[in-house]
Amino acid sequence: MKKPNRYENLEKLLGFAFKNKDLLDLAFVHKSFINEYRDKNESNERLEFLGDAVLELAVTEYLYKTYPHNPEGVLTNWRSALVQGKNLALIANELSLGNYLYLSRGEEKSGGRKKNYILANTLEALIGAIYLDHGYKTSHNFISKYILERLEQILEAGLHIDAKSHFQELAQEKISMTPEYKFIKEWGPDHAKRFMMAVYIGDKKVGEGEGSSKQKAEEDAARNALARINWDKLKL
């Protein structure tokens, strides 16, 4: 009897089938799962590590070749906007990657299938799996289709702008105050740490953010604060 393929719908979206289904399966094994169940002995963290590098190269190569007259600083901002966690999580949601995750009972109860950082990491792990199974060209095609095509939308929305600098300028202009960032917590293994930072104006917390470094978490916090603050109604 033929074994059912739990990834049939995903492979239809991708436009190709995996030769090594175990590799595809590994892309969805969250670290919490292997601590609780014995039928998996490796998480997707190594694939995520690889996929992150493949994604970085593909985006950098595209920007370098497509925009020969733009300086390095501009391209860096554009790349950061394309590969930031929230953008990757949106794409993961479009592909319904959360449906395929192997999670512990605790992570399942806490809504792990919808957590942005888990979805973003899973997308990077999938990119790593595509690279190993089909090579750079196919992984580059996937990145082009689902990630690079968002650049115009990102630029129109101003998501490439340095959120920390913009937020500081606005705070000083509107209320003559400088935002302050405070560490909240960190978690994860040494090679895949996650950080949460909060941004304050005076004693009032106006935003939180997370990222793979404190700097990225601060940037995310500033971006979230920009999205939610009504300066005219801000009470300190």
- Structural domain containing residue 107: 9-157
What pLDDT digit, counting tens, does each position of 183-219 carry?
A: 999 988 777 789 999 999 999 999 999 988 898 899 8
SS3 181: strand
At which residue do the structure tokens 């790593």 appear?
128
Whether 232 sits among the annotated catalytic residues: the reply is no
Q: Are 60 and 76 found together in one domain? A: yes
Boundary of a domain, candidates 157, 180, 215: 157
Q: Please give the pLDDT value at position 156.
A: 78
Could you tell me if residue 216 is inside a domain? yes
Percent of residues, the chain, with pLDDT higher than 70: 96
Boundary of a domain, candidates 94, 129, 157: 157
pTM: 0.73
For residues 135-164, average pLDDT: 87
Contact status, residue 80 vs residue 160, Cβ threshold 8 Å: yes
Whether 39 sits among the annotated catalytic residues: the reply is no
Contact status, residue 50 vs residue 27, Cβ threshold 8 Å: no
Could you tell me if residue 235 is inside a domain? no
Q: Are 170 and 152 found together in one domain? A: no
Q: Are 81 and 120 found together in one domain? A: yes
Candidate list 45, 48, 107, 124, residue with the active-site label = 124
Boundary of a domain, candidates 102, 123, 157: 157
Closest CA to 107 of 5, 51, 27, 188: 188
- Identify the CATH number of the domain in which residue 173 sits: 3.30.160.20
- Identify the CATH number of the domain in which residue 123 sits: 1.10.1520.10
What would the two tokens of residue 81 be? 């906007």
Candidate list 45, 52, 133, 218, residue with the active-site label = 52
Q: Are 42 and 151 found together in one domain? A: yes
What pLDDT digit, counting tens, does each position of 109-148 carry?
A: 999 999 988 999 999 999 999 999 999 999 999 999 999 9
| CA-angle at 57, arms to 46 and 91, nearest 5° | 70
